[in-house]
Every structure is written in C-alpha cells, then in structure tokens.
Homo-oligomer: A and B are copies of this chain.
Amino acid sequence: MKKPLEEAKWLSRSVMAARGEAGGVIKDERRISESDQGTYHYTIGRYAEPVLRVNPGTRIVVETKDAFEGKIETERHMPSELIEMPFTNPQNGPILVDGARKGDVLAVYIESIRPRGPQPRGTTCFLPEFGLLVGTDYTATLNEPLPETVRKVRVDEDGIGWSERITLPYTPFIGTIGVAPEIDSISSLWPGKHGGNMDLPDVSEGNVIYLPVRADDGYLYLGDCHATQGDGEICGVAIEMAAEVTLVVDLIRDWPIQWPRVESKDWIMSVGSVRPLEDAVRIAYRDLIYWMAEQYGFDQLEAYMLLTQCGRVRVGNVVDPNYTVGASIPRHYLA
C-alpha cells in the first residue's frame, strides 16, 4: 500500500522532518532500473562504482532483484547448483548522497515496495546448512542436512498464494539496506551497525530508517525485498521477490548514532545485530534508552525502568551471520 511522503502526516514529528537537510520535502526524482544498475553488488563498501549521486530530498525508484538474482525460476531448480557463494543477495547501489560525512545520518523514507517480474515470482527454499533449525556453518554439526527444497508462489499486492488453503498477507519490506563502512566492505549477507541484511519486517512502507554515515557520501545500498516474513525468518529464506522500491532520501547532520534506527507513525525503534541473540536485544534496548534520553528528555535509568514495563521486541532474523532485533516504544509514552 503506497504511502507517499506527502500524505504521511506523522512525519512532521520525525527526526527526518525536523532535522533533515531537505526537511521532508521532495526536490528531485530519480530512477535506477535494472539496466541502469547493470552490475549488482554482493558487498557493501565504498569500493564499487556509484550508480547514482543525489542531493538530500530525492525520491528514488529502484528496481531490486530477489536474493537469488532471479535464478530460481522453478521448483526444480536447486539453489546449490545455481548460486555460488559469495554471489548471493544482490544489491542496488551504491547511491551517493552529496555532502554526507562521517557522523551524519542518512534518513530513508519508504514510500512503496511493489512486486515485479513474471509469476510465480515469490521464492522460498531450504538451503544446505542454513536456517535456525538445522546445523549450519557456524552452529556446526555432523548431522545430515535437510533435503534442498524450493517453493515458488504467486505474489501480488493483495496476497501471496501459499497453498490452496492458505493465502499469506502481502506485508513487504526491504530485507537489506545499508551504508558503506568507513574502510571495510561487508558482505551483503551480514547485518551490523551499517544496516545491511537485517531482515527486519519493520523496514516497511511508511516508515523511516536512519543509517549512520561512515564514509563520505554515505554509499547507500539496498535489495532483498520480502513479500512477507515471520519473526526470525527461521528457515533462512522469506518470500523473496524482485521489487520496485520507492524511497525518499534525506541527510541529517551531526547525529552521532551507532546503530540503525527506525521511526513509524506509532513507535520509535532501535536496531541491534550481533550474536548471541541476547546481545542483539541488549544493543537495541540500550540504544533506545540513549534515544529516549537525548531526544525526549528521559533520565537513562528512568527509561530503562519504563521500557521494562512497555518495551517491545521484534526478532528480525535468527539465521544470518548476525542476528537482528528491534526494540521499540510506542510514541504515546514519549510525548
């Protein structure tokens, strides 16, 4: 459900509107089609050729590919034969944001995420040694892997055809969105301080994600849209799809955040990504406390005690190299 920036009234209360260089106004429109993008990227850093350079206040329409780059076209395709690591989870970008400097923050408002490509265009599957309920590369076991299995499903904006009996809701979000580290380049499969492969369902239409800039011009990447996903993305593969994503990018100066943050109409959220999962919860909640203190005047310990009573935890993924958690508080406690 498209949520144009102009109609999102709550945005006036956002950091993006209050402190963004463009103040929540769209001054330019750009597009990155598949052919504009040409080469998709599998690592998030400042070593790739930019695909686009924009000013703060630009609406950008981006054609993303699915996490398998569209190679899994039927249920007879075996991912392990088609995918060679590390060339999975292709990203659009990098998009350079003029003037972004270390210590600044990119604000990205998500207007819409539309499925694209031929049906059945949704893909999920079991990959060998990947997922929460199997032995993996890291949680190394000697058990036999599960059988590789592919499932292709129809995806439309009014629903996902899981089976004759079950239709899943279309609740799309951006699985991977991030900015370049200062000197490293991070696999598009990893989430972290830079954002990346968070697989967090709250990075969705109508919300703003904030990403801490580390390299000049920010170097924004995105891809890996999901038509829907359960908490934790447990088999490791949501309903993956190619999408047309519409974003508005703005720039906030001198906001020294350490981890991604998200704002919606109803809540504010801090995001942590690390293993084990309790440390991701720690990161997210502590950052939320810092945010409540810095912007809403809470004493830190008062915020800690209050969140004990009303904080909410979203488990994004428990399958990627880092696990991702969002901790949030409803806005009505902040007023």
Contact = CB atoms under 8 A, between A and B. Distances in A.
A283 B327 CA distance: 22
Contact of A305 (B132, B151, B289): B151
Contacts of A278: 132, 275-277, 318, 323
Nearest to A168: B309
Interface in A32-89: 42-43, 45, 47, 86
Nearest to A233: B308
Contacts of A143: 134-135, 141, 143-146
Contacts of A133: 135, 140-142, 282, 285-286, 289, 304
Contacts of A307: 230, 234
Contacts of A276: 275-278
A281 B231 CA distance: 10
B230 A184 contact: no
B126 A232 contact: no
A47 to B, nearest CB: 5
Contact of A135 (B135, B281, B309): B135
A126 to B, nearest CB: 7
Nearest to A287: B140
Interface stretch (A16-24, A113-121, A202-210, A235-243): A235-243
A313 interface: yes
Contacts of A12: none
A327 to B, nearest CB: 8
A325 B327 CA distance: 15
A162 B306 contact: yes
Contact of A230 (B134, B312, B335): B312
Contacts of A43: 183-185
Interface residues on A, range: 35 or more
A145 B144 CA distance: 8
B184 A86 contact: yes
Contact of A166 (B145, B287, B306): B306
Q: Which of A42, A131, A144, A309 has the most CB of B within 10 A?
A: A309
A18 B139 CA distance: 32
Interface string A126-164: 100001111101111111111101010000000010100
Contacts of A289: 133, 142
B141 A301 contact: no
A232 B311 contact: yes
Contacts of A318: 278, 281
Interface string A267-281: 000001011111101
A140 B318 CA distance: 13
A229 interface: yes
18 contacts: A43-B183, A137-B258, A138-B282, A139-B279, A142-B286, A142-B304, A151-B305, A183-B187, A185-B185, A228-B310, A231-B311, A231-B312, A232-B285, A234-B308, A238-B308, A276-B276, A276-B278, A281-B315
Q: Which 7 A-B pairs have the closest CB atoms?
A: A143-B143, A230-B311, A276-B276, A277-B277, A231-B313, A140-B286, A235-B308
